[in-house]
Amino acid sequence: MKPSTKHRAFFLIPPEVQLLDIAGPAHLFYEAKEYGASLETHFLSMESHLEQFSSAGLSLGNLELFSDHTLGPDDLLFIPGLESHLFYNAGITEKYVDFFGWLKNQYTNHAKICSVCTGAYLVALAGLLDGKECTTHWKYLEDFKTRFPKAHLLSDRLITHDGNLYSSAGVSSGIDLALYLLEELFGAVFASKIAKEVVIYLRRTENDPQLSVFLQYRNHIDTRIHQVQDLLAQNLEQKNNIEDLAEAVHMSPRNLTRLFKKTTGITIGEYLDRLRVERAIQLLTSGSKVSAVATACGLQSSNQLRSLLKKHTTSLPSDWKA
């Protein structure tokens, strides 16, 4: 874990909150505290009364007034989704004018503002998403574009990060966002331990690489490049050459090399290295021997694995052992 800095995680509980939006991230930060992270957690009401009912009817009490807190650069604020009739209501900004003013101030104070699902509407209503990248639940993309045309809405992203603004797509992606933030705050080794504790394997499918690589380099819609990425991820233990990959997607090696870099922002070789790092970390944290991990990642020796991890994570295989 990175050197200790005191962080505070605030979780807004709006009326008719979507339970999984808030429960997933809150539980991961609870586990992080149990693992020794220097964290405080607070649950805030955006209204004067300190009890709210979720969209499923569950009562959530013992909340704190949002106005009692001032956040700073070491703090996070999670803003979960809520029932659509609330953010469709034309009077919402007037009703919660004090809250939206407070939210703007916390953004100015450089707190990390993290929306989950339709929580992005509250951030947008505060005017914070103008010119900023963001995402929300797929069902509301068209409406969001219409209502907030100045926002740079990304329809093909699970998570976005623009300055101190973070957003995630529908419901369970709040858990992905929480892991992303834990890695950012406390390092990849620590985040992997939290994921393991709550039985979350950082993979989109059985054969996909872990979450961080998927997010950074799979956020595009080119099916040929996705196919090449799948082939690499599913055959890490084998020697992959550009000719075979190009043939699989009916392209020339030269065109594939060019398109891959243009689409993902990195070369095929760089992407392969990152896949190997992610796969190695997963296997090491599950207890596999270093030599076996090297073989599974298509490396010729344990020394190659050590060099790869040191280059990309400044860590050694022993740092990742369970």
For 70-108, the pLDDT digits (tens) are: 999 999 999 999 999 999 999 999 999 999 999 999 999
Among 157, 277, 295, 265, CA closest to 210: 277
Q: How confident is the model at residue 322 (pLDDT cuts 50, 70, 90)?
A: low
Q: How confident is the model at residue 261 (pLDDT cuts 50, 70, 90)?
A: very high
Q: How confident is the model at residue 4 (pLDDT cuts 50, 70, 90)?
A: low
The pLDDT, as a whole number, for residue 302 is 93
Q: Is the pLDDT of residue 8 over 60?
A: yes
* Domain locations along the chain: 7-189, 204-320
The pLDDT, as a whole number, for residue 197 is 85
What fold does the segment set 7-189 form as a domain? Rossmann fold (3.40.50)
Among 248, 318, 264, 259, CA closest to 290: 318
**Helix (H), strand (E) at residue 147:** helix 141-147
Q: Is the pTM of this model over 0.75?
A: no
Taking only the tens place, the pLDDT of each residue in 178-211 is 988 998 898 877 887 888 788 764 433 323 333 4
Q: Is the pLDDT of residue 45 over 80?
A: yes
The pLDDT, as a whole number, for residue 96 is 97
Kindly report the backbone phi and psi dihedral angles of residue 243, in degrees, each rounded to the nearest multiple of 5, phi listed first: -65, -45
Question: CA 16 to CA 276: how far, in whole Å?
Answer: 43
Q: Please give the torsion angle defined by the CA atoms of residues 169, 121, 140 and 11, in that order, rounded to the nearest 10 degrees.
A: 40
More confident: 255 or 179: 255
The pLDDT, as a whole number, for residue 192 is 74
Q: Please, are residues 8 and 77 in contact by the beta-carbon 8 Å criterion? A: no
Question: CA 243 to CA 237: how far, in whole Å?
Answer: 17
The pLDDT, as a whole number, for residue 204 is 36
CATH of 204-320, picked from 1.10.10.60, 1.10.150.240, 3.40.50.300, 1.10.3720.10, is: 1.10.10.60
Same-fold call for 7-189 versus 204-320: no
